[in-house]
Structure formats: structure tokens, C-alpha cells
Amino acid sequence: MSDVPNRPAVIAVLEEIAQWKSRADAEFATTMSDVDRDEAAARRAIDEAQRQLIALAALRAELKDKHALVGLGAEGRERAALREGLATDRKAIEGRAALLDAAIAAQDGELQRQLQDPEVASAVEEYEKFVEVESSLAALPVGYRKAILDHHERVRRRLEPVIAASNAGPPNLGLANVGVGVLFAVDPAEGPPEALVAVLPVPFAVCRDWADRKEDLSSRFAYRVVAAVSRLLGAVGAGAAPIQYTELSGCLAVQVWLGDCEVQGDIKERALEEIEALREEASELAAAGIELYGLWVRAAMLADEEG
């Protein structure tokens, strides 16, 4: 038709429009094909991402469950470690108690041997008589009083070894030092404390059988720590707080109700200060090579395991 002479101009225009539309249709088809392809790829990617999200969610839940088990396992191991530590420390104290008792018995035996010596016994008798009349010497003439005092001084010097032996503390066992710990906890851990517990590495029998049980290193250890706890309570304004003695894993536990008291100051810091002071003043612990420490733990670790 394009070679028809005298063709109307509108025909050429319509042909151009048709060609333009054909090209546009082809371009549209090509582009839509690309869009369909890309959309399909995107949907596949979305499906894969959703599968990955589901897998990650399952993995997250599994990891949380495993971590919860780790937490429970750690609590169980920590609780077991504390109880094992108490048992080990208790064994150390009880073992050295027997050795210290034997050393003290030997020391007392030597003192009795010295006191049985006739000369020493006579000097002791003179010394005791002098003590009885010492207050009345001021009424005696100066020369007579001086002679008595000089004689007494000679007797005292003769008795110095015996006096030193009788006033001596417990004999040092010469053993390597071993550290033992008193476990402390407050509940709640944060805020005003309502309860305090101290667990001592000594048998509960120290408290239960105190009237019948022979006093030894374990009982003296308990007396000192209980006294330290009493001083602690007085220092923080809880001197009237009720105290109860209970058993934890065979050891003596001191429980204090603080809910009706207004605790003043840092009870944790003050407890460690009391233990440090006790550590310095307890001659029998030093003689036995026992180094005392205070250790603060979570109250849950001193509770009995459920189930």
C-alpha cells in the first residue's frame, strides 16, 4: 500500500501509530516477562527466607532451652561445690582438732610434771601465800616489807617458766596453713535484708549436743563465729533480732530474722570485718594452722534442693 500513488497522508500516520504500538507491545511483553521472572525469583527467595526464619526460630528456642539447662546445671554444680567445700573445711577442722587436743594434753602434762617437782611445788605454795597477804604488807615496817618483797621476787623468778607455761596459749602444731570459710547470705540480695544466714564448717552436733560434747577446736570455732555474728547484729542495729540454729548438710547454720529490724550500714562489709578480727584474735585457730575467711554467696545456694 505504501507504493500506491496519491495515498492519503492519514494512512501513513496510522501505520506509524501501528508500528509504534507494536514496538510498545513487544517491549511491554519483554519487560513483563522480566518482571514475572524476577517476581518468581523474589517469591522463591521469600519462601527460602521464611524457611530460614522458621529454622532460626526453632534453633533459638533450642538454644534457650539448652542455656536454661546450663543455668540449672551451673546452680546445681555451685550448690554441690559449696557443700563439698563445707565438708572439706569441716574435715580439716576436725582433723586438726584431734592433733591440737593431743598437743594441749602434752603441754598440760608437762606443766603438771613441773608442778610435781618438790622445789616448784614449794615455790608455788609460797607464791600463793604471798598473794593472800600481799594487800597487808603496807602495814609492815619498811625493812621487813622489803625483805618479803625481795624474797617474793626471787620466788617469782624461780617460777617464771611454770607461770609462762600455765599462761601459754595452745601449742603451735607447725602445720601448713589451710583456709576454711564461713558462708554468708542475705535474702533478698538487693534492698533491705530480711534474713541472714551464716553456715559454719563444724558439725551441727556442736549445737545439738553442746552439754555432753567435749569442747574441742570445732566448738571453740563455733563459739567465736556465733559471737562475731552477735557483734555484727549489734553493729548494724539488729541486736534484738531472733536467732535460730539449724543444720545444713550436717553443718551448723545460724539463721537471723531481720525483717523487723532497720539494718544500718553495709551488713556484708561489716561481716567480713568481724571475720577478719576473729581471724586475728583466735589463737587456737592460728596454732592449728587454720586461716578463717568469710564468703558471701547467693541465698538460693544455701537452700535445700527441691525434689
Residue 38 has pLDDT above 70, yes or no: yes
Identify the bridge partners of residue 182 per DSSP, sorted by sequence position: 294
Of residues 296 and 130, more confidence is placed in 296
Q: What is the pTM of this model?
A: 0.66
Domains of the chain (ranges plus CATH)?
A: 117-167 (no CATH), 173-302 (3.30.70)
Residue 91 has pLDDT above 60, yes or no: yes
Question: What are residue 129's phi and psi, to 5 degrees?
Answer: -65, -40
Identify the bridge partners of residue 292 per DSSP, sorted by sequence position: 180
Q: Which of 59-63, 179-183, 188-192 has the highest mean pLDDT?
A: 179-183
Q: What percent of the chain has pLDDT over 70?
A: 78
Q: Is 185 left (phi over 0), alpha (psi -120 to 50) or beta?
A: beta
Largest CA distance in the chain: 174
User: What is the structure's pLDDT at 172?
Assistant: 83
Which DSSP letter does residue 106 get? H
Angstrom distance (rounded) from CA 117 to CA 127: 15
User: What is the structure's pLDDT at 13?
Assistant: 81
For 275-304, write each residue's pLDDT tens digit. Answer: 999 888 888 898 999 999 999 999 888 876
Q: Which of 73-77, 119-123, 295-299 has the highest mean pLDDT?
A: 295-299
User: What is the structure's pLDDT at 152?
Assistant: 63
Residue 306 has pLDDT above 60, yes or no: no
User: What is the structure's pLDDT at 195?
Assistant: 93
Contact 1/11 with Cβ under 8 angstroms? yes
Which DSSP letter does residue 289 get? T
Give the pLDDT band of residue 307 (cuts 50, 70, 90): very low
Residue 42 has pLDDT above 50, yes or no: yes
Identify the bridge partners of residue 261 per DSSP, sorted by sequence position: none
Angstrom distance (rounded) from CA 186 to CA 233: 13
Which DSSP letter does residue 136 get? G
Contact 222/241 with Cβ under 8 angstroms? no
* Helix axes 142-167 and 9-115, enclosed angle (nearest 10): 130
Contact 294/275 with Cβ under 8 angstroms? yes
